[in-house]
Structure 1
Amino acid sequence: MTDQIKIGFAPTRRNIFSADAAIEYADKTRAKLDELKVNYVDIKDANADGLLYDDDGMHKIAAKFQAAHIDGLFLANENFGTEFECARLAKQFNVPVLLWGPKDEAPAADGSRLRDTQCGLFAIGKVLRRFNVPFTYLVNVDIDDPEFTRGVEDFIKVCNIVKTFKQTRILQVGPRPFDFWSTMVNEGELLEKFNISLSPIPLPELVDEIHDLQDKKDPDIAKTVAYLREIADVQIADKDLNMVAALKVALKRKMVQYGCNAGAIQCWTALQNEIGILPYASESLLQDEGMPVTCETDIHGVISELLVEAATMGEHRAIFADVNCRHPENPNGELLQHLGVFPFSTAKNKPILPKSHFVFDYPGSVGFEAQDGHYTLCRFDGDHGEYSLLLGNAETNPGPYEQGTYVWLQFANLNRFETKLVYGPYIHHIAAVRDDVVPVLYEACKYLNVKPDFYDPIEEDVQAYLRGDITSIIKK
């Protein structure tokens, strides 16, 4: 998965320390990146050393990285390093920056030292601050230390989050339902602050696409129908199943047409008057294809999904749920549920497509319980010009059967979580993924101009993980 992200690799040295030792450690770093299958752009052609240390080399390196459209910059401090060249280079790119240097060897018998790498890291960090360049620090460990591998892999995830966020374009199908004032967003602000753009289309445009696909008997409809019959217990009429498939294909075509990586739809009630089904099974299919679509035109909700999935490098698909009600017996248990909008791949049992649901008397919903495990919860939201990312963990907990897609989660303290949602700026919709990605989401916030916000007091644990002091923030 690391090949999705392109890293500019800029090892650096300072002239008064051993150039030979810096070259040796730069090559060791290259070998390790190769071993980890990192997709990186090298600078061996910048000068004879293949290292950053002067203006001439810096300009060549910057041009090469710009031409390659790097997603992140790795400053590897192979001896003391040239702090001002590192900062000048980093300033030219609006991408995450990783700073690391290999642990110094013991002084020679005569008391001399070859590299002074750690000392140079302090200098580089200070000058990056002077240049207002946010950066991620990977502690001064040996290159074969497991912490180096984890730090590089986590940094790549951070780069993926930032890249996804900054390249997001969302297909907005219809306005929000009138009753959902909680899902209103500031379209201009999303573009101005974050480069997130919306592609709004009216419901009739989508409906026309559906009918056109059906009239032409588009083969993707039949393929989708066959796939649904294979993976689910289909209890709806053939004509309704055909409409579920046609809606899925139409949504995907419209996202491709408008260059979108996600969507949000006015899921009720105008849509049912036009095509006679709920959109949730169609959305669940798209969730599995990495093109999430949220209901109630929840723009901030689908951004939350994109972020939490990017944190897993697309390895895990996110569920998108209403936070519904407390567990009848467990004081820290909570129901996350919806009529669908959970990817089929997250099902614990065989999914069903029921004839109708207790909320809406229409076909098109999905029913299953989500898989057990530890979940990361995430909600991007904001108001009054300020945006934050709600973060935390929970784990599955047994609970009563529910219609629709659902999972019961146990929180460390449900009152804290509940109070965060009530005070806001969040609402009752949340994205969750079966993985421990809170630290990389937290680290990504410094590059997104978004404030990280925890519903549990875990910030010190997250920082300890990022320093390498602990291996996980989830209490096993």
Structure 2
Amino acid sequence: MIRYTQDRTVVLGYVPVRRDMFPSGPASELKSRVKARFDEMAEKCGDVELVTIDDTVEGGMLWDLRDADRVVELFRAKKVDAIAFPHCNFGQEEVVAKVAAEIGKPVLLWGPRDPSPETDKSGKTGPRDFDTQCGMFATSRALKRYHVPYTYIENCWLDSPVLDQGFDDFIRVVSVVKAFRGMRIAQIGSRPRQFLSVKVNESELLSKFGIEIVPIWPEEVKRMIEKLKRGLPPSPEGCELPMGQLPLPPLKGLLPDPRIASVAAEIESSVDWSAVGHGAVETMAYLEVAIMDLAKIHQCQAAAVDCWGFSQDAYGIPSCFVLGELFDRGLPAACETDIHAAIGAVLLQAASRYSSPAFIADVTIRHPEDDNAELLWHCGPFAKSLVKKGVIPAVKECKGMYEIEGGPLTVVRFDQDDGNYLLLADEGEGTDGPKTTGNYVWFKVNDWVKWEKKLMYGPYIHHVSGIHGHFAKVLKEACKYLGPVTHDSVEPVEEM
């Protein structure tokens, strides 16, 4: 499958710390075992790169404040996304706080449980070599004093599954933070006129979070499609303004970009397209590739598309199924120019470590028989890879027509009121319900009336972003690092 590739590797600065008043030998031996464990967990998570301080600090453990600046310089050069500070004994809270504050990225605080205090044959006890938990209490207070948010994994044994789960959750948090900071969203066309609900404050998104909205006018898409028809390489030349566009060569004798045939073949091999015909499939393929190329040129991580007007007017097809295709290819694409929904979808896919595409749905009607279930639906923009087992995905009028898989679902809405931004993140599960048109899943929760009132009183709307899996606690933890974003939920969400 042709993919929209993005950098998804988490670069983790790895800083073992010790206290100089404790013996260095036991700390050094523990450091080796902890590093082996972190290597194992990083490999298990996938797409995690550890940046060590072995060549920067003598002994590879930080305790001396004079070494802190070199560690900061290293991590800035390596562009780390987060820092882990495993404590190999009591640790040194001053250097941890200094490095963490300078880098300004998510922080992981953890240390292994101490062995039992030793006694000799006479019953006399010797000094303890670690006191790791005690030191982490000191470190956490220092981080608080420097206003550094951090994630803590409980003081557990080195081989405990608690460490595995905590590390995996933290990497997911870092993925969310990395995806959020500096996000660029391609806005293709304007919002539907009456959709006051999807208005956003572009200046605030930039000033508060570094999120940039990149306007792409429909003529740019048309121009890119004409280039694809001629097999010309994608480039921003001539896209910015009509008066800057140079004439394209005539079509005669030129072959289209080979990706068009490939994408069309992928569609025809995976869905029932008999209701639309090959011509419409080819048009959808052109639209998909053109949007991906423009998003890549403008370094965007997602798109928000006017799905009502521009593709229907210019190409005779709605863009619904195309948007689901873009999700499947790795580019979240919100319908109805809902930029906040696109942001939510990006965060969900990052929380899942890109294991599944997200989807964007209308919150539509209550289940006719289950008071705690609701129809999450849209006219046809859900990724075909999400189709429910046993259902043949069909495309009619260039819209997806299939129910998607149930199971655990995380649902979010990123939105704001008077500059106060919230991330509603909570969970439910798919359930059975009546069949309907378009793409849909029936969503069951503990108390739908609570959900309904939460959405109704806002600052939320009838759009939500969803994904398969349990990620509410990851998103709650990520809010520590996103800036002025408050986590919100219907039911209490567990802490990491």
| TM-score bracket for this pair, using the shorter chain length | over 0.9
Q: Is the 8 A contact 2:65 2:94 kept in 1?
A: no
Q: Is the 8 A contact 1:319 1:346 kept in 2?
A: no
- Residue 40 of structure 1 is matched in structure 2 by 50
C-alpha deviation, 1:238, in angstroms: 2.7
1:330 correspondence with 2:355: no
- Residue 299 of structure 1 is matched in structure 2 by 339
- Residue 407 of structure 1 is matched in structure 2 by 441
Q: Is the 8 A contact 2:177 2:481 kept in 1?
A: yes
- Residue 270 of structure 2 is matched in structure 1 by 231
1:125 correspondence with 2:140: yes
- Residue 289 of structure 2 is matched in structure 1 by 249
- Residue 177 of structure 2 is matched in structure 1 by 162
Mapping for residues 449-468 of structure 1, pairs under 5 Å: 449=483, 450-456=485-491, 458-459=492-493, 462-463=494-495, 466=496
State the alpha-carbon separation in 2 of the partners of residues 404 and 94 from structure 1.
Answer: 44
- Residue 344 of structure 1 is matched in structure 2 by 384
CA deviation digits over 1:285-342, x for unaligned, max 9? 1101110111110000010000011001001211211111111111111001112221
C-alpha deviation, 1:212, in angstroms: 3.6
1:290 correspondence with 2:290: no
1:391 correspondence with 2:425: yes
State the alpha-carbon separation in 2 of the partners of residues 47 and 305 from structure 1.
Answer: 41
Q: How high is the TM-score relative to the length of structure 2? A: 0.89
Mapping for residues 21-420 of structure 1, pairs under 5 Å: 21-36=26-41, 37=43, 38-109=48-119, 110-214=125-229, 216=231, 217-234=256-273, 235-348=275-388, 349-354=391-396, 363-420=397-454
Q: Is the 8 A contact 2:413 2:424 kept in 1?
A: yes
State the alpha-carbon separation in 2 of the partners of residues 215 and 64 from structure 1.
Answer: 47
C-alpha deviation, 1:143, in angstroms: 1.1
State the alpha-carbon separation in 1 of the partners of residues 94 and 65 from structure 2.
Answer: 10
User: Unpaired runs of 5+ in structure 2?
Assistant: 1-6, 120-124, 232-255
Q: Tell me, what secondary structure is at the counterpart of 1:70?
A: coil
Q: Is the 8 A contact 2:182 2:209 kept in 1?
A: no
- Residue 18 of structure 2 is matched in structure 1 by 13
C-alpha deviation, 1:179, in angstroms: 1.2
CA deviation digits over 1:194-246, x for unaligned, max 9? 11101102122222322442355222221111111100000103322221111
State the alpha-carbon separation in 2 of the partners of residues 111 and 219 from structure 1.
Answer: 73
Larger mean CA deviation between 39-48 and 226-235 belongs to 39-48
Q: Percent identical across equivalent pairs?
A: 38
Larger mean CA deviation between 219-228 and 397-406 belongs to 219-228
4+ long deviations beyond 6 Å? none
State the alpha-carbon separation in 2 of the partners of residues 369 and 422 from structure 1.
Answer: 26
Q: Is the 8 A contact 2:295 2:303 kept in 1?
A: yes
CA deviation digits over 1:144-178, x for unaligned, max 9? 11101111111111111000011310000111110
State the alpha-carbon separation in 2 of the partners of residues 138 and 247 from structure 1.
Answer: 46
State the alpha-carbon separation in 2 of the partners of residues 208 and 180 from structure 1.
Answer: 28
Amino acid at match of 1:402: T
What is the total number of aligned residue pairs between the two structures? 453
Amino acid at match of 1:70: V
State the alpha-carbon separation in 2 of the partners of residues 208 and 3 from structure 1.
Answer: 30
C-alpha deviation, 1:271, in angstroms: 3.3
Amino acid at match of 2:10: I
C-alpha deviation, 1:3, in angstroms: 8.1
C-alpha deviation, 1:92, in angstroms: 1.1
Amino acid at match of 2:86: A
State the alpha-carbon separation in 2 of the partners of residues 176 and 49 from structure 1.
Answer: 58
Q: Is the 8 A contact 1:316 1:435 kept in 2?
A: no
Q: Tell me, what secondary structure is at the counterpart of 2:192?
A: coil
Q: Is the 8 A contact 1:353 1:364 kept in 2?
A: yes
State the alpha-carbon separation in 2 of the partners of residues 364 and 3 from structure 1.
Answer: 31
State the alpha-carbon separation in 2 of the partners of residues 102 and 435 from structure 1.
Answer: 29
Q: Tell me, what secondary structure is at the counterpart of 2:59?
A: coil
C-alpha deviation, 1:111, in angstroms: 4.3
- Residue 359 of structure 1 is matched in structure 2 by none
Amino acid at match of 1:379: R
State the alpha-carbon separation in 2 of the partners of residues 47 and 386 from structure 1.
Answer: 43
Q: Tell me, what secondary structure is at the counterpart of 1:120?
A: helix
Amino acid at match of 1:369: E
- Residue 357 of structure 1 is matched in structure 2 by none
Q: Is the 8 A contact 2:189 2:310 kept in 1?
A: no
Q: Tell me, what secondary structure is at the counterpart of 1:448?
A: coil
Q: Tell me, what secondary structure is at the counterpart of 2:422?
A: strand
Larger mean CA deviation between 214-223 and 261-270 belongs to 214-223
Amino acid at match of 2:263: T
State the alpha-carbon separation in 2 of the partners of residues 269 and 401 from structure 1.
Answer: 28
Larger mean CA deviation between 241-250 and 132-141 belongs to 241-250
State the alpha-carbon separation in 1 of the partners of residues 181 and 8 from structure 2.
Answer: 19
User: Unpaired runs of 5+ in structure 1?
Assistant: 355-362, 467-476
C-alpha deviation, 1:52, in angstroms: 0.6
C-alpha deviation, 1:371, in angstroms: 0.7
RMSD between aligned alpha carbons? 1.5
State the alpha-carbon separation in 2 of the partners of residues 335 and 271 from structure 1.
Answer: 27
C-alpha deviation, 1:269, in angstroms: 2.8
C-alpha deviation, 1:188, in angstroms: 0.7
Amino acid at match of 2:311: L
User: For the structure 1 residues 3 and 415, does the alpha-carbon distance in structure 2 shift closer, same or farther, using more than 3 Å as the test?
Assistant: closer
Mapping for residues 419-438 of structure 1, pairs under 5 Å: 419-438=453-472
State the alpha-carbon separation in 1 of the partners of residues 103 and 56 from structure 2.
Answer: 18
C-alpha deviation, 1:372, in angstroms: 2.0
